[in-house]
Amino acid sequence: MADPAAPNERPHTLLESALRYDRTPTAVILVLLPLVSWVWIVAMARDMYGPMTGASAWMATARWDAKYFLLIWAMWAVMMTGMMLPSALSRPV
């Protein structure tokens, strides 16, 4: 028969330690991060169907250098945060 106190003896993970305290800062970050990501996605999408002189202007290049690669990675990271984090947060614990 398993000892009911055994799970409490293991060290807490970083997430468990963070959730043990006030969850307000965590909740604010988890709401604001996707919201800011979606604002940026919408700004870029609106510019892509226009003159591409605004937020999406940097994408209209034929040259791939380190700066361009970093911008593409940042765009991907923002898109993934905006689209995947809300669904990951809605999963029941």
DSSP per-residue letters across 18-37: HHHS--HHHHHHHHHHHHHH
Tell me the pTM.
Answer: 0.49
Every domain of the chain and the residues it spans:
24-89
Residue 77 near residue 41 (C-beta atoms within 8 A)? no
Query: Using 50, 70 and 90 to split pLDDT, how confident is the model at 23?
Result: confident
| Structure tokens belonging to residue 7 | 């799970």
The tens digit of pLDDT for each residue in 50-84 reads: 777 776 676 667 778 898 888 888 888 888 888 88
Query: Which residue is listed with tokens 């293991």?
Result: 10
* Predicted confidence (pLDDT) at residue 4 exceeds the cutoff of 80: no
First to last CA, the chain: 26
